[in-house]
Amino acid sequence: MATLAPSRPATLATTPGVRAAAVRHLGPNWYATVMGTAIVANAGATIPVHVPGLRTACAAVWALSLAMLLTLLTARSLHWIHHRDRARAHLLDPAVAPFYGCLSMALLAVGGGALIVGRDWIGLPAAVALDAVLFTAGTVIGLAAAVAIPYLMVVHHRIESASPVWLLPVVAPMVSAALGPLLLPHLAAGQGRQTLLIACYAMFGVSLLATLVMLPLVFGRLVTGGPLPLALTPTLFLVLGPLGQSTTAANNFADAAPGLLPAPYGHGFAAFAVLYGVPVMGFALLWLALAGALVLRARRRGMGFAMTWWAFTFPVGTCVTGAEGLARHTGLDAFRWLAIALYVFLVAAWLVAGLHTLRGLLGGTLLAEPGR
């Protein structure tokens, strides 16, 4: 996701050969656009304030994220079919390979959005079926990426310093953990529901412990190596992803567990949601302030648009849903207003990143060969 210099247009054309050529440099980082769009819909549909027309607007944004996902899956399929050399190079590139976690999170975010808000347009049965397919695929891909990408980092990649993008493959199981409980009411009563809930809790642990391994390396890189390069500075916002998503997951467990798990575990999740979520959200705000200050510094030093700007969307969106859950379980207005403020930031960031991306696509610069 390095800065892309202007070059000759590489827009999609009508002939298959030209379409295949246009996606030669289409990397897995593009799934971040789907994630960032879907979270605008998902977070907005549950924001703790009534705004006339907001839910309808969120449904439209979700439909856009679904269209983006289908388009991108098609384009990435062309990439793998016609440009296997580039696809293999992406896997062996330590700066690109972690973004394969974004595929999982894009599938999960759109699938969860189908049940949160998409059902208003496509109906509940279709929404359940769509989420079941996307949740299953996203979870399998996310767990595979959580193992395969660190394996590649150890065996094949030659890494000079830690990067926030290392969190992408290990945070994907946390997205499964947070969104899995949405399917529980649509499963038959019995051990199937309990198994899914416990599996989500296990994925919560997988992602949380992996994050606790990675995060000190990222902060140590900043302290010992100084600020990141300008174009990579927005990736500091990626740290918010596991923080906000784990808080969201804990709150969703608290909603789902009573009546599903035996005492005292069923009600224990409610206490866990607050005891875990409040300090983690506090740390998320601390990191948001630090990352925001470093982004402002980079902007003053000439940081221009790059696809890294999409890091301002999904991670912040997870903090919105985390704050929404804490507002629900504590009843505190402070968390309600925090969710609203973060959502305003999220929408603004999404509009800015989206407009710049659209302009880059129409101009052909974002699909051009890097460095040309």
pLDDT in tens, 237-267: 999 999 999 999 999 999 999 888 887 888 8
Supply the pLDDT for residue 85. 84
Confidence of residue 86 (pLDDT cuts 50, 70, 90): confident
Is the pLDDT score of 6 beyond 60?
no
- Sort residue 245 into left (φ over 0), alpha (ψ -120 to 50) or beta: alpha
Is the pLDDT score of 9 beyond 50?
no
Cβ atoms within 10 A of the Cβ of 272, count?
17
| Mean pLDDT over the full length of the chain | 90
**DSSP symbols for 95-161:** TTGGGGHHHHHHHHHHHHHIIIIIHHHH-HHHHHHHHHHHHHHHHHHHHHHHHHHHHHHHHT---SS
Supply the pTM of this predicted model.
0.91
Chain position carrying tokens 């949740």: 135
Cβ neighbours of residue 340 closer than 8 Å, sequence gap 6 or more: 47, 48, 49
Mean pLDDT of all residues in 60-72? 96
- Which of 343, 317, 194 is closest to 265 using CA atoms? 194
CA atoms within 13 A of residue 271's CA, in its CB half-sphere: 5
- Which of 250, 340, 244 is closest to 283 using CA atoms? 244
Mean pLDDT of all residues in 47-67? 94
Supply the pLDDT for residue 195. 94
- Which of 368, 366, 224, 238 is closest to 313 using CA atoms? 238
Is the pLDDT score of 3 beyond 50?
no
Structure tokens at 264: 């005292």
Chain centroid to CA 7 = 29
CA–CA separation, 65 and 76 (whole Å): 16
